[in-house]
Chains A and B, each alone.
Chain A
Amino acid sequence: MVDESRSDTELVKAFQRGDARAFDQFVARHQSRVFRLALVWLYDASMAADATQEVFLRAITGLRTFLFAAEPFTWLYRTQRLVCHEFNRRRQHETLADEPQSTDPTAADTLDAQRIATTVRSLVADLPERQREVVVLRIFEALSVRDTARAMGCREGTVKALLNKAKASLRRRWEST
């Protein structure tokens, strides 16, 4: 059950005062979003689950000393990107060394999640990285322009411009197929 009565900032401040339940609420509020984003970046449901867990474990130490220079979700998103990069690097390493590991094919949910992730990835695959990020955050995650700009560390005008370019590219590609 996600408690929406308190903002992220209030939850993190309560957590810093030692309220462990506030951290549980913070996790419950953001775990789906972090998992979906990890799924798009990692393209693997079990790795996305591991990455989500790692993000929140880092949040325990990171948010204890958080100074609120940015929104807590911005911090969480950037940490999530960092963790996904690390997982991708590690996977490339492992793939070179060992046989590639496939996920459990019997898990229907896992397959479904990967199918959706594949759809999203194929949709944004040809876009430049910044446009891809804007499409995922602004369209798929339905973040506001302001929150998208904060998460990406740029101005709101930049987000709008990138989104317009990305949409035009996607539309052109859709019409050409």
Chain B
Amino acid sequence: MNDFDAEDRLRFEQLVLPHVDAAFNLARWLLRSRADAEDVAQEALLRSYRFFRGFHGGDARAWLLQIVRNTCYTWLEKNRPMELSMEFDEELHLQTCATPETLDRKRLTMALETLPPRFREILVLRELEGCSYKEIAAITAIPIGTVMSSLSRARRQLHSAPVNSLQGARP
């Protein structure tokens, strides 16, 4: 390995690798599966490494999440194309959350997974990843106005998951 590669790798390790958790978390929620997320996040990270020379500074997390997101959608198109045409379905959501003994975590997980992917990713980026609207807009390539309206819709649906489970969530 020559100097340039070593330097490159060091930069990659310093700038990009700290965001492996963010990469996995987004993939896990977009794909609704930890096993698939592991494969796809790995693929996305290797891809980001290969194309790291195209990263000219700026927000490394947003840059990586963009790649993770694109890799996830490509994977979904190939493996589960039906999911991409998923629509808002509040009925389905209410049915799946009907069991009273379900932990709140499970309810919220189900509610989140029932959201169409384009709404789900925005909520995950905002609530779990703590991204700003500007970062979300950059990662998902949608205008900030749409970020706000999508957040509103996603939050409303999630909020309609039964709340009476907070006690159930504690063992």
Verify that A and B bind, or say they do not: no
Chain A residues in contact with chain B, CB under 8 A? none
